[in-house]
Structure 1
Amino acid sequence: MRPVIAAVIAALACGPAAADEPAANALTDSYIWTELRTELVGDVEIADGSAVFSVEAPYRANDAATVPVSIRQTDPSATIRGARVVIDENPAPLAAAFTFGPGMAPLDMELRVRVNQYSNLRVIADTDRGHLMAGRFVKASGGCSAPATRDPEQALAAMGQMRLKHFGEAPAMSTPRREAQIMIRHPNYSGLQRDQVSQLFILAHFIDRLEVWQGDEMLFTMEGGISISENPVFRFSYTDNGAPTLRVLARDTEGNVFEQTLPKAGQS
């Protein structure tokens, strides 16, 4: 094949994809945000938070029902007390509201959300410097109505099971930061999904309160909505205070309470 022809073919193959992936994926203009902003934070001033924390999410999601979102603090001198994850175009835009304890600083956290249609995904952080916002634009659709991956009977039978995983070796006391992941079995039905047999809508049933503790120290709490994915997963870094376990308490909209004490890796 001639070099010129090969170059043209390569350009045609790579050009559109490259054009579709912005070099800096930022929030876009959103008329709906004007209403959401007042509803969520009122008249409080919100400043650009990109110098304090970053938000990472795929520009084009592989699975709209499990879109990974990472929040990473880039300025450790700031104090992030809490954060709201908002998906502008979702039926219930407020996906989650977090409160963070001191052990989560500097913040480094990942969760998975549903995205119902092309939308801004923004994080509004409550900090010692006021309310700060950063985010990404995500191309995804159908996440809130996507069928559950498990049969309803199986999902309910496993509901409330939890698993804790740590990454890397147990830290030395001089550098006590650890990275952990908590997975909770729960269908987290959005109310927009259909039973694949009866084709009737499945009633909304999701975790609306989550607490994670190490000993008597609260690491974080979450008030959740329908936009948190099925079988929620939270990956985060924290400062180990020496307690041998993490305690996780979850409550759902049906009044079920699930609580487990999970040994840390390297602890008996």
Structure 2
Amino acid sequence: MITHEPTRASRTRRSFSAALCLSAVLLTGGSALAAGSSDSDAERVERWKDIAKSIFGDRAIEATDTLIKVDAPPRALDAALVPITLMMPEKDRIAAIHLVIDDNPSPYAAHITFGPAADPSEVKLRVRINNYTNVHAVAETKDGKLYEAVKFVKASGGCSAPMGMSDEEALKGAGDMRMKFAEGGQGKPSEATLMIRHPNFSGMQMNQITRDYTPARYINKLDVTANGKLVFSMNGDISIASNPVINFGLAPDAKGPIKVVASDNQQGRWEHSFNPPGPSN
């Protein structure tokens, strides 16, 4: 589970949820600079150093343009639904990936660990982005080394954007799931798209009726298996967009059924099984 240390957000804890008050951005006693569109490259570099140390400690992180790549829009059309694609061309070397949105209130967006039933060449998901920010993707190889890629995205207000409906409406059907499959062909990996109904409340969204902040409630753990073998396990946080959609690859020899177990930070738990079409069944 992703954990966080107190930040400046704790000053407003009566209005914001406790989850928001915990962030990986400052384990340095308040040395990181406030995020903003006018920050210099040097300020962003220093912020990333603070965040990386809080997540990875003293482990070295090397830049790469081959092990992992980040595709994201330079300017988001909707800051609450920003599409992110993580590409791992040397997929056989990859054990896990870490997604960090530097200037979000809780930067550590997701940690995805791949299992034997995965094809880790590409992962797509949608995130919230709260400010002009660098988005870091860190690949962890099977020999324990870390490699990073970065993309700058212009967006604002994604973490506080209202749902456009009441909290009760947003929670209706929470945990409902659907999955779509795209066959890769004989002996080739196939692609799956998982859709989960869940508002993923960030703790920063204001209830338009009561004018109070909606407490954070978000999917923090997701496990996907194929016939009992792990495809991937994801720890998530408030940066994952509402009604999560995750596109991932299945190994050519992955067999059905595909089982999904999701849980949130308020003890919600849901599971569902899907039968992939064709020879994977």
Bin of the TM-score, shorter chain as denominator length: 0.7 to 0.9
The secondary structure found in structure 1 opposite 2:117 is helix
Select which of 95, 98, 110 maps to 2:109. Answer: 95
In structure 1, the partner of 2:87 is 72
Contact 2:184-2:191 at 8 Å conserved across structures = no
What displacement does 1:170 show? 6.3
In structure 1, the partner of 2:152 is 137
Contact 2:69-2:137 at 8 Å conserved across structures = no
Counterpart check, 1:119 vs 2:133: yes
Contact 1:192-1:202 at 8 Å conserved across structures = yes
For structure 2, which runs of at least 5 residues remain unmatched after alignment?
1-40
State the number of aligned residues.
237
1:225-257 per-residue CA deviation (whole Å, 9 max, x = no partner) reads 000000001001221435232100000011011
In structure 2, the partner of 1:238 is 250
The secondary structure found in structure 1 opposite 2:206 is coil
1:180-215 per-residue CA deviation (whole Å, 9 max, x = no partner) reads 100000000000001111111000000010001111
Amino acid in the other structure paired with 2:179? L
> In the aligned structure 2, how far is the partner of 1:250 from the partner of 1:42?
28
> In the aligned structure 2, how far is the partner of 1:53 from the partner of 1:252?
28
Counterpart check, 1:199 vs 2:211: yes
TM (normalized to structure 1)? Answer: 0.84
For structure 1, which runs of at least 5 residues remain unmatched after alignment?
1-27
The secondary structure found in structure 1 opposite 2:223 is strand
Select which of 207, 218, 225 maps to 1:213. Answer: 225
What displacement does 1:150 show? 3.9
The secondary structure found in structure 2 opposite 1:146 is coil
In structure 2, the partner of 1:157 is 172
> In the aligned structure 2, how far is the partner of 1:262 from the partner of 1:222?
18
In structure 1, the partner of 2:161 is 146
Q: Which moved more, 1:176-185 or 1:46-55?
A: 46-55
The secondary structure found in structure 1 opposite 2:172 is helix
Amino acid in the other structure paired with 2:139? A
What displacement does 1:106 show? 4.2
Which has the higher Rg, Structure 1 or Structure 2? 1
The secondary structure found in structure 1 opposite 2:51 is helix
What displacement does 1:97 show? 0.8
In structure 2, the partner of 1:187 is 199
In structure 2, the partner of 1:224 is 236
The secondary structure found in structure 2 opposite 1:158 is coil
Select which of 43, 48, 58 maps to 2:63. Answer: 48
> In the aligned structure 2, how far is the partner of 1:156 from the partner of 1:212?
23
Contact 2:119-2:248 at 8 Å conserved across structures = no
Contact 2:98-2:110 at 8 Å conserved across structures = yes
1:106-144 per-residue CA deviation (whole Å, 9 max, x = no partner) reads 421101110000000001111136100002000000000
User: What's the C-alpha RMSD, in Å, of the aligned pairs?
Assistant: 1.6
Contact 1:250-1:257 at 8 Å conserved across structures = yes
The secondary structure found in structure 2 opposite 1:179 is strand
**Relative to 1, partners in 2 of residues 1:222 and 1:149: Cα closer, same or farther, differing over 3 Å?**
farther
> In the aligned structure 2, how far is the partner of 1:170 from the partner of 1:55?
23
In structure 2, the partner of 1:166 is 181
Q: Which moved more, 1:52-61 or 1:151-160?
A: 151-160
Q: Which moved more, 1:42-51 or 1:222-231?
A: 42-51
What displacement does 1:154 show? 2.2
The secondary structure found in structure 1 opposite 2:201 is coil
In structure 1, the partner of 2:273 is 261
> In the aligned structure 1, how far is the partner of 2:138 from the partner of 2:68?
10
What displacement does 1:158 show? 1.0
The secondary structure found in structure 2 opposite 1:33 is helix
Amino acid in the other structure paired with 1:244? G
TM (normalized to structure 2)? Answer: 0.80
Counterpart check, 1:38 vs 2:50: no
In structure 1, the partner of 2:3 is none
What displacement does 1:171 show? 2.8
